């Protein structure tokens, strides 16, 4: 089954379950208030982190370095803001994990470690040399 389709089905089921469980413990009005409060706080904090990320990216560009981490971090902040706007407790937890710089760096580290292990197998490495023949023809002219 497609992963996206599975997420589209499972996320609302998990959120409804959490709404029922948490709502029965703290009440309906408190649950709805908590959803709005987490969305408002999350969006403001995502904006704050986004501006910090933008400043960091500009400083990387001034140093003539590629701001790869800042690009990935900006995409993660956009996803985090979307998750925080969506009503629900599970999406709020995932959104807050992506917003905080410490957990975002840990997530990137584990994803990069997993990806590095898949890509850099010794069997896939091919070493060789090349000669640029176009440059040799340019010298003859």
pLDDT digits (tens, 9 = 90+) for 71-127: 999 999 999 999 998 899 999 999 999 999 899 999 888 888 877 655 555 566 677
Tell me which DSSP letter residue 87 carries: S
Percent of the chain scoring above 70 in pLDDT? 86
Report pTM.
Answer: 0.72
Please report how many Cα atoms fall inside a 13 Å half-sphere around the Cα of residue 131, on the Cβ side.
Answer: 3
- Residue 27 pLDDT greater than 80, yes or no: yes
- Given this model, what pLDDT does residue 68 score? 87
Q: How many helices (H) and strands (E) does the chain have?
A: 6, 0
Distance CA 39, CA 20 (A): 19
Structure tokens at 122: 């010794």
């Amino acid at each position: 089954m497609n992963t996206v389709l599975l997420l589209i089905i499972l996320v609302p089921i998990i959120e409804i379950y959490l709404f029922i469980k948490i709502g029965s413990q703290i009440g309906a009005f408190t649950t709805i208030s908590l959803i709005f409060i987490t969305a408002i706080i999350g969006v403001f904090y995502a904006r704050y982190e986004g501006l910090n990320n933008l400043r960091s990216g500009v400083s990387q560009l001034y140093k003539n370095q590629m701001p790869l981490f800042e690009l990935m971090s900006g995409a993660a902040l956009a996803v985090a803001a979307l998750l925080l706007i969506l009503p629900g407790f599970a999406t709020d937890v995932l959104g807050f994990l992506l917003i905080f710089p410490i957990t975002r760096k840990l997530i990137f580290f584990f994803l990069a470690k997993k990806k590095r292990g898949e890509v850099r197998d010794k069997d896939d490495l091919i070493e060789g040399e090349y000669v640029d023949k176009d440059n040799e023809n340019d010298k003859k002219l």
